[in-house]
């Protein structure tokens, strides 16, 4: 029995039977006897070592050379250990101070970066507000819209949006777009964390990056101003833009509550030929996907489908020939556990 185990053993005696206490007492007695025997053996060994290392010379004890060397080595070892101990403490203090200093510098740098980013977003928002015409006047037409959700089994989601946009009666300089998953989705700090990108896919088989400025950056709200460079003239053909991101837990509300509402709103100067919304769920999520249409104001269809790229099963909603003005498309995605 080790000495450091005694307090625990004594604490466990409460409520024990007389026999158990007696056995413990006897065991403790034997343990103490063994410990005393080891101490006595150690003492005898030291006595023998001292007697062997010292001899009598003219009635005076004199140490042998090897005994002097042994004592010197022991003292030297003790001194080295003391020096190493204090050196380690000094090093630990220096390292802690260095880490604290680095952490302070990093926090200050992050704060300056955040201030700079916020300043740029505020500037972009002011430019947008000053250049946006009267809200009653619509200057762009959404000819076609396609929104695609590929929901992985952990509910991380690839979101792909494709818009065919045409200028109405005035040049179109920019257009604002946003990503706003539910509060159940994982928060993300920056657009780079979700692989956000915008490309121009007007020319088949060829894509080009599109310039944008972020105007809002909340953990679950990302808003950008997409710039048409050069500007889109009313006489020019429509441009096809594709927006992509991969958001962790985008559809977690559907898993946590069994349903998630999807709302897409548009304001178009002319007829929108098609709004197509696709949802596909990877196998292995522990449930099945279902979908229903809430807003049935527009001519539409909804049907089971299979994603041509991944082979996942899901649903396709499509509304066609939607008159100019404001229109909204609202779906509810259901997840029924197996």
Domain check: are 198 and 321 in the same one? yes
Domain check: are 22 and 163 in the same one? no
The arithmetic mean of pLDDT across residues 218-242, rounded, is 93
Domain check: are 201 and 328 in the same one? yes
The arithmetic mean of pLDDT across residues 8-36, rounded, is 59
Burial class of residue 249 in the structure, from the number of CB atoms within 10 Å of its CB (0-12 exposed, 13-18 middle, 19+ buried): buried
Residue 86 has pLDDT above 80, yes or no: yes
Give the pLDDT band of residue 329 (cuts 50, 70, 90): very high
Residue 245 has pLDDT above 50, yes or no: yes
- What per-residue confidence (pLDDT) applies to 109? 62
Burial class of residue 188 in the structure, from the number of CB atoms within 10 Å of its CB (0-12 exposed, 13-18 middle, 19+ buried): buried
d(CA 284, CA 307): 16
- What per-residue confidence (pLDDT) applies to 33? 62
Q: Is residue 224 part of a domain?
A: yes
Q: Is residue 305 part of a domain?
A: yes
Residue 18 has pLDDT above 80, yes or no: no
Q: Is residue 279 part of a domain?
A: yes
- What per-residue confidence (pLDDT) applies to 209? 93
The residue with greater pLDDT, 200 or 72, is: 200
Residue with tokens 């950056």: 217
Q: Is residue 103 part of a domain?
A: no
Residue 243 has pLDDT above 70, yes or no: yes
Q: Is residue 300 part of a domain?
A: yes
Q: Is residue 298 part of a domain?
A: yes
CA-closest candidate to residue 133, choices 163, 167, 165, 164 = 167
Domain check: are 297 and 179 in the same one? yes
Domain check: are 137 and 38 in the same one? no
- What per-residue confidence (pLDDT) applies to 79? 87
Partners of 179 in the β-ladder? 222
Provide the token pair at 277: 């919304």
The arithmetic mean of pLDDT across residues 237-250, rounded, is 97
Domain check: are 36 and 174 in the same one? no
Which of 26-30, 110-114, 211-215, 278-282 is predicted most confidently? 278-282
Of the listed ranges 55-69, 114-128, 251-265, 323-337, the least confidently predicted one is: 114-128
- The number of distinct structural domains making up the chain is 2
- What per-residue confidence (pLDDT) applies to 47? 72
- What per-residue confidence (pLDDT) applies to 242? 97
DSSP 46-102: HHHHHHHHEEEETTEEEE-HHHHHHHHHHHHHHHHHHHHHHHHHHHHHHHHHHHHHH
- What per-residue confidence (pLDDT) applies to 125? 62
Q: Is residue 60 part of a domain?
A: no
Domain check: are 13 and 152 in the same one? no
Domain check: are 193 and 329 in the same one? yes
- What per-residue confidence (pLDDT) applies to 10? 47
Residue with tokens 């249409």: 293
d(CA 166, CA 208): 18
Helix (H, G, I), strand (E, B) or coil at 313: strand
Q: Is residue 92 part of a domain?
A: no
- What per-residue confidence (pLDDT) applies to 102? 75
| Neighbour order of strands in the sheet with 287-293 | 259-268, 325-337, 287-293
- What per-residue confidence (pLDDT) applies to 331? 97
Domain check: are 10 and 144 in the same one? no
Residue with tokens 């997840």: 335
d(CA 198, CA 228): 12
CB atoms within 10 A of CB 161: 19
d(CA 300, CA 266): 16
C-alpha separations of 120 from 66, 127, 222 in Å: 79, 11, 14
Domain check: are 31 and 179 in the same one? no
How far is Cα of residue 136 from the mean position of the Cα atoms in its chain? 41
Of the listed ranges 5-9, 68-72, 215-219, 304-308, the least confidently predicted one is: 5-9
DSSP 74-86: HHHHHHHHHHHHH
Q: What is the CATH number of the domain that holds 230?
A: 2.60.40.3140
Domain check: are 26 and 149 in the same one? no
* Residue ranges making up the domain that contains 16: 3-45
C-alpha separations of 86 from 89, 100, 208 in Å: 5, 21, 62
Of the listed ranges 72-81, 99-108, 132-141, 194-203, the least confidently predicted one is: 132-141
pTM beyond 0.75? no
CB atoms within 10 A of CB 189: 10
Phi (first) and psi of residue 154, to 5 degrees: -95, 10
d(CA 128, CA 191): 20
Contact predicate 254/155, CB 8 Å: yes
- What per-residue confidence (pLDDT) applies to 35? 63
Mean pLDDT (the chain, rounded):
84
> H or E segment at 239?
strand 239-247
- What per-residue confidence (pLDDT) applies to 151? 98
pLDDT in tens, 91-141: 887 777 777 877 777 776 666 666 666 666 666 666 666 655 555 458 899
For 250-274, b where at least 16 C-beta lie within 10 A, e where not — what string?
A: bbbbbbeeeebebebebebbeebee
Domain check: are 145 and 30 in the same one? no
């Amino acid at each position: 029995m080790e000495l450091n185990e005694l307090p625990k053993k004594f604490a466990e005696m409460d409520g024990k039977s007389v026999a158990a206490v007696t056995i413990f007492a006897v065991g403790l007695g034997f343990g103490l006897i063994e410990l005393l025997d080891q101490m006595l053996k150690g003492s005898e060994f030291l006595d023998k070592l001292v007697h062997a290392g010292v001899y009598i010379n003219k009635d005076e004890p004199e140490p042998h050379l090897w005994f002097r060397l042994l004592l010197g080595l022991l003292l030297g070892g003790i001194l080295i250990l003391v020096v190493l101990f204090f050196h380690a403490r000094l090093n630990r203090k220096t390292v802690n101070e260095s880490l604290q200093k680095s952490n302070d510098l990093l926090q200050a740098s992050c704060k300056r970066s955040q201030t700079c980013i916020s300043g740029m977003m505020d500037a972009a928002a002011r430019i947008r507000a000053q250049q946006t015409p009267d809200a009653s006047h619509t200057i762009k037409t959404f000819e076609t819209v396609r929104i695609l959700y590929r929901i992985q089994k952990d509910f991380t989601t690839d979101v792909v949006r494709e818009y065919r946009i045409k200028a109405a009666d005035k040049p179109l300089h920019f257009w604002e777009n946003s990503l706003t998953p539910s509060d159940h989705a994982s928060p993300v700090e920056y657009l780079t964390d979700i692989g956000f990108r915008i490309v121009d896919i007007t020319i088949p088989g060829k894509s080009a990056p599109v310039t944008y400025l972020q105007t809002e950056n909340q953990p679950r709200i990302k808003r950008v101003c997409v710039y048409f460079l050069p500007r889109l003239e009313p006489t020019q053909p429509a441009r096809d833009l594709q927006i992509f991101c991969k958001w962790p837990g985008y559809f977690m509300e559907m898993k946590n509550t069994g349903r998630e509402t999807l709302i897409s709103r548009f304001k178009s100067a002319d007829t929108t030929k098609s709004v197509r919304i696709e949802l596909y769920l990877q196998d292995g999520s522990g449930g099945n996907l279902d979908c229903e249409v809430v807003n049935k104001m527009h001519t539409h269809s909804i049907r089971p489908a299979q994603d041509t790229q991944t082979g996942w099963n899901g649903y396709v909603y499509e509304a066609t020939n939607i008159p100019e003005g404001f229109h909204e498309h609202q779906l509810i995605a259901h997840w029924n556990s197996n």
